[in-house]
Chain A
């Protein structure tokens, strides 16, 4: 592609898509949240701390965090067979690593905090939406956390560094996709993956964009948590 002067969606290069966040959407879970960004919708449910089976997984020094990422078969244009696949297994792992640095699980010896993420509609940025939803669900479940975690994709399309790639942009040849997760208070990176081709200068620019985006998401997450209880005050 020649040069990407205007984004397909008309957005500015540092504009994320519209975001919606809500907690408490799954009644049976200990904590739950919905995170929607553009046309990507992620739902997360947290169960725990609870008994951990099989026993050999138990850690007497601390509770463990266990994440499972799944996409519904109809979340994507070409049906995905229900059930786990290798991509899901990898994303489950990086999601867990994205959240673990802020979790305080030492008091829950031999137990597990289970996080289940379901993508019900996909338009790129699914693992990031999943992480943002999961962090909300964990806070909603009352699991002690040093901080919240927000995640967003940045990247390069048609030579331009930008934030929050949608599917159309992701599919462009030679597009570079960089999912990043950052903690809310200290802006430390807990998820970083890169697919593509970037100079260091471009990477620095991309990370700056990611920081701005994650800060905005963090504010939205805070509001979602507070709003859930504020409405009872009114």
Chain B
């Protein structure tokens, strides 16, 4: 409820659930939660819960990259997860979420797209990553990234026979994921910087910055929110992300 209450606490360097500003809620990740997917995972951060499924199919490559496969990331913000979500085609929040997850993987080259080639110029693998939040209590972005990376890490190619995919039958070949770049989503409230905001905290932020890192390198960023941030703010956030990277990455089994 009370926004003023949350704000007054934060000015005193306190959070309602008594976490530190750079502390995540309890993270639980499960693998293989949906059998018909080639890879799947569920990630819980506190009460926020996201389920991700990886499905693969073959298709034609883009003309300018005849030997490369693709990833297609979609997020469905079903009203199941929050009274604030409505039925309908993906709006800006769903689209932004999908694109942030996409960039984290694409820009870090976590998947070598050339390894997704079946027959150059003719057939490549398309990797569909579909994100379904089941309960929104804030920080859908980080939960979605963790679930996505876990699902990809355990994903296996479906069997192929005569260039046709045998849906429902998995091969032993694992999807080539060579990096797990995690995302840290920061919220700025007044002049305070917090990590892993729950939904009540999210409703009072001035600005938001998501940072995707792998081994000290920054691969993607996305700023959200209505107010501006300073370069110093950005540096502070990046420092925290790089410092905590290993710890967060270790949650991915």
Contact residues of A with B, CB < 8 Å? 26-29, 39, 41, 43, 45, 47, 50, 68, 70, 72-79, 82-84, 114, 116, 118, 120-123
Contact = CB atoms under 8 A, between A and B. Distances in A.
Contacts of A78: 57, 167
B168 A77 contact: yes
Contacts of A123: 35-36
Interface in B38-75: 38, 40, 47, 49, 51, 53-55, 57, 74
Contacts of A121: 33-36
A27 B199 CA distance: 12
A189 B168 CA distance: 35
Given A45-B80, A78-B167, A120-B33, A73 B128 contact: yes
Given A28-B135, A43-B80, A120-B51, 12 more contacts: A27-B137, A28-B47, A28-B83, A43-B134, A47-B83, A50-B83, A74-B34, A74-B38, A74-B55, A77-B168, A82-B90, A121-B36
A124 to B, nearest CB: 12
Contact of B167 (A43, A50, A77): A77
A85 to B, nearest CB: 13
Nearest to B168: A77
B34 A120 contact: yes
Given A26-B134, A120-B51, A121-B35, A79 B128 contact: yes
A26 B78 CA distance: 12
Interface residues of B, number: 34
Contacts of B128: 73-74, 79
Nearest to B136: A28
A74 B130 contact: yes
Contacts of A84: 87
B80 A82 contact: no
Contacts of A77: 36, 167-168
A144 B29 CA distance: 36
B183 to A, nearest CB: 21
B105 interface: no
Contacts of A116: 78-80
Given A74-B54, A74-B55, A118 B78 contact: yes
A26 B135 contact: yes
B130 A118 contact: no
